[in-house]
Structure 1
Amino acid sequence: MEALFVELPPFERHRAEYLTDDEFREFQQMLL
């Protein structure tokens, strides 16, 4: 399955405050 995640600038600005890159990658995998 191929998916495209669109991250809006406000989300991307604050994402690092809550999730590491690895945690965010895992989150995206769970959404699939």
Structure 2
Amino acid sequence: MWPSFYVANENVELIKGFRGYGKKALRRLEKLAE
């Protein structure tokens, strides 16, 4: 059970980082669109 929990936690961290990266990319696109 522990290894699967560890993997799931890593996936959550990856998803958080992905969302943060997506927000930064959207802001850059908005600036370019202005």
**TMscore range, shorter length:** 0.3 to 0.5
**Structure with higher helix content:** 2
Q: What's the TM-score once normalised by structure 1's chain length? A: 0.40
Q: What's the TM-score once normalised by structure 2's chain length? A: 0.38
Structure of higher CA gyration radius:
2
